[in-house]
């Protein structure tokens, strides 16, 4: 599933391609995404100009000159890219929006867990995020509040990092990588984490995500950015997906275990 670095890369790629573009009539594929597109939303988009794009957690927000907001989520296999309108339409393309420069914004999603929907204004969008209990961005975590949140939970650190109400945008890949960076076991309980350890983890999350964004995210299977280019951070992963391989630091084999419903990778030597 695309996580924060991948979604941020898509947003950065699409800004130069979409801002100031006027949207045409939405076309839909034969199958709907996770939430069916409402025909009323097509009317709201038609003729509107894109003012800006931003990311919130794993969500993409397209702001329109009407005040409306298009909210997109890539799900597990979503690809949001711009193409010339006469280029072949890839299979599993479910949502197409013509642009006034002869190109199209296309949403392709093999597994159809992604979504595209419309919100009338920023207030409606914020209400949606509130209902989702979406937590703060990793870059905005306040150290004391973060430490208190960890120490108030008996869950494993891996489970806490995956909880989008605690911190938005972190998923399985970057939770594993951040815990390795912080030299903390994924099974360590939040309420048994010292304040120095909590701060180490906070800084590790920021450091890992920053490096991943610089590398355009990780292409593990079919992720591509908004320009169609793949990510490169998969070549720098130190634990995720490296089961049985030697740790790049201590040479002990990377282990995998099931935790919080997800495959969790760690080094038994470096993470204590």
Sign of the alpha-carbon torsion through 34, 107, 211, 139 = negative
Collapse the DSSP code of 194 into the 3-class scheme (helix H, G, I; strand E, B; otherwise coil) and give the result: coil
Active site residues: 2-3, 58, 262
* SS3 (DSSP) at 7: helix
Longest CA–CA separation in the chain, Å: 58
Q: What residues contact 111, with CB distance under 8 A and at least 6 apart?
A: 75, 76, 77
Phi, psi (deg, nearest 5) at residue 8 = -60, -40
Q: Please name which of 69, 68, 101 lies closest in space to residue 84, comparing C-alpha atoms.
A: 101
Please report how the helices 195-214 and 172-182 are oriented relative to each other, as an axis angle in degrees rounded to 10.
130
Token pair 């599933």 is at which residue? Answer: 1
Q: Which two tokens stand for residue 65?
A: 């000159």
Q: In what order do the strands lie in the sheet with 69-73?
A: 50-56, 59-64, 69-73, 115-119
Query: Helix (H, G, I), strand (E, B), or coil: what is residue 114?
Result: coil
């Amino acid at each position: 599933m695309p996580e924060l670095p991948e979604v941020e890369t898509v947003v950065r790629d699409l800004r130069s391609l979409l801002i100031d573009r006027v949207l045409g009539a939405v076309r839909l594929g034969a199958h709907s995404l996770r939430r069916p597109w409402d025909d009323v939303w097509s009317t709201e988009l038609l003729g509107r100009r894109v003012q800006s794009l931003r990311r919130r957690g794993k969500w993409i927000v397209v702001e329109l000159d009407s005040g409306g907001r298009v909210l997109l989520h890539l799900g597990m296999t979503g690809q949001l890219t711009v193409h010339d309108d006469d280029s072949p339409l890839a299979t599993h393309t479910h949502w197409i929006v013509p642009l006034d420069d002869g190109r199209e914004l296309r949403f392709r999603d093999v597994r159809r867990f992604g979504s595209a929907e419309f919100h009338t204004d920023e207030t409606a969008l914020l209400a949606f995020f509130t209902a989702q209990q979406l937590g703060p961005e990793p870059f905005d975590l306040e150290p004391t509040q973060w430490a208190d949140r960890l120490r108030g939970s008996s869950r494993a650190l891996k489970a806490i990092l995956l909880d989008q109400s605690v911190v938005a945008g972190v998923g399985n890949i970057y939770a594993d990588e951040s815990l390795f960076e912080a030299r903390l076991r994924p099974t360590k309980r939040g309420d048994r984490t010292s304040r120095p350890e909590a701060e180490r983890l906070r800084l590790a999350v920021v450091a890992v995500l920053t490096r991943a964004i610089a590398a355009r995210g990780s292409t593990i299977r079919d992720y591509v950015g908004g320009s169609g280019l793949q990510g490169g951070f998969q070549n720098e992963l130190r634990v995720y997906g490296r089961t049985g391989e030697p740790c790049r630091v201590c040479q002990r084999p990377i282990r995998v275990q099931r935790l919080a419903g997800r495959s969790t990778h760690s080094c038994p030597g470096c993470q204590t």
